[in-house]
Structure 1
């Protein structure tokens, strides 16, 4: 992080706080789901472990000791067992998330016509704004996805999407891009909206901090998987990483059960979220349970994407999730209105990617797994383009 970003008033200095890790064995012992009506109650009573990065960061440039190796195994095991993990990073301050969410509330509250000037459909909406009603949940076009929902047990069944998502999204590119690539449209220059002089500083501050956390988690996961510690971060180098907040207008979409982001997985490597001011994000654990995401103050939430599933030959599965309006969402809207605050629901989201020209294929010992044949080698950029076509962001 450059000194200018820290000193400009938009990026708070890192703050070190200790938070003990929950043992992954406790989590795994609670992943047995009874076949009865208690399932939906249990979904709220199974917190994910919070893993503190401090010990790893203290030894980042050294060979990890046994305690750090165990911490890395916990990250890897949690990703494999659940598809997600909650992270405490002492380099990240809650105030930075607040500055960022404040900015995005102001941006999305502009008139639609103003925001449309920032859209770049010719670049598959991979930079700039994606208007509401453009992105389609995969279940709209994929019968297998609908079958998955049909087979889910009561209390853990996804909302069936009936049309495009009513959310807006803004894509802000993070980090350097390759000088030469076969996928220029996935590595385009960022779009800078008019009327927000602090835009770049706030976006770079918060986005780079979340990307740093995600990169550290990827390195820890590699160690935990028994790979070279840089096996995952090497293929991430110069990737098309994106700060990609969504905005849903809850003054227009606050009916109970309204679906802001239909049941789907993320196409990228790892997704990291800061805390939203309105609840509504649900994820599915590997055992089929649907749980609400509740991010503790000062923490970040990471979920596996399809590219990580590829690199691990399915040892880690891409995490399914949805965002809907719940009673908690409605209560938060009521409180925001009473306080005179914005009722735009902002997701604080970064997509970490494999570099577009890298070949997506199982890494290391995962290449010898019986499941490896399901993950045929493909350029990451080609894979992303196919996924974007499926959700209506790229025209075939």
Structure 2
């Protein structure tokens, strides 16, 4: 990733984090889990913190609403890509979707240039965000241009993840992005401070996933793309575990995954 950053023109270059991201995040698994799966860890039951009797209902309610929105967008994408309407949503059934509310204390980390999320792509299918009270996200367009994200009131932000890139054979690339304290963030901090409002930047993020036991491979006409060979069949669960291992969020597995001959059975609904 650092090598890729050095290739970016200086005016569009991402910030390089120093140390761990100064943010808090809680992962809550949303929706039904498959009764039978090779990937029990990815599909385990969510952890309910003590002292919050309304926790599960609140998290499930909002998480399900956000996943429903992702499913509508996925159907629209299927139609737009010239595929059957349910091409993506059928693969999302019982996926390990995650609601990940994220908080950053701008009273402590409100200096321009502080990185809350370093330059990266999302490993999942589609990511959806509620609008935060404070600016911060930047995205990179396909032509390499860096753009500060502005989410209108009442709107949601959706980003393409690596699983969507896989299913489209590289036609739709996973979006690179970062979250950084900018001049607009500083202005919002000052306005909140003068108004006596909280200086916590809270983002409501949901990671929509392809089901762990489903196969990731270019769909329909994307299978005939010249780039399709770069996206060989692989179990979504195997793919996620490899990505998590690469960023030190999971211990590396023994052996090497054979991308040419994925050992995943066709998805079944438990």
Instruction: Provide TM-score, normalisation by structure 1.
Output: 0.62
- The residue number in structure 1 matching 2:177 is 321
* Equivalence for 2:80: 224
Q: Secondary structure at the match of 2:124?
A: coil
- 3-state SS in 2 of match to 1:209: helix
Deviation string, structure 1 residues 266-296 (Cα, Å, up to 9, x no partner): 0000001110011001111111111111111
1:151 matched residue in structure 2: 7
1:169 matched to which residue of 2?
25
Structure 1 runs of 4+ off > 6 angstroms? Answer: none
Q: What is the RMSD of the two structures over their aligned residues, measured on CA atoms?
A: 1.2
> Which residue is 2:228 aligned to?
372
2:88 aligned with 1:238: no
Greater helix share, structure number? 1
Matches for 1:229-378 after TM superposition, within 5 Å: 229-378=85-234
Q: Hey, what does 2:242 align to over in structure 1?
A: 386
Identify which of 67, 76, 80 aligns with 1:211.
Answer: 67
The separation in 1 between residues aligned to 2:101 and 2:145, in whole angstroms, is 26
Equivalents in 2 of 1:339, 1:191: separation in Å? 36
Unaligned 5+ segments in structure 2 are 253-270
Count of residues in Structure 1 that have an aligned counterpart in Structure 2 = 252
Q: Determine the structure 2 residue equivalent to 1:187.
A: 43
Distance 2:42 2:108 in 1: 32
Distance 1:205 1:235 in 2: 22
- Alpha-carbon separation, structure 1, partners of 2:73 and 2:185: 30
Q: Give the deviation of 1:387 after TM superposition.
A: 0.7
What TM-score, normalized to structure 2?
0.90
- Partner secondary structure for residue 278 of structure 1: coil
Give the whole-Å Cα distance in 2 for the aligned partners of 1:204 and 1:153. Answer: 42
- What CA distance in whole angstroms lies between the structure 1 residues aligned with 2:91 and 2:243? 19
> In the aligned structure 2, how far is the partner of 1:393 from the partner of 1:332?
33
Measure, in 2, the Cα distance between the counterparts of 1:341 and 1:392.
Answer: 36
Tell which deviates more after alignment, 273-282 or 342-351: 342-351
Partner secondary structure for residue 246 of structure 1: strand
Gaps of 5+ in 1: 1-144
Deviations 1:281-339 (A, max 9, x none): 11111111111111111111111000000000000000000000112212222222333
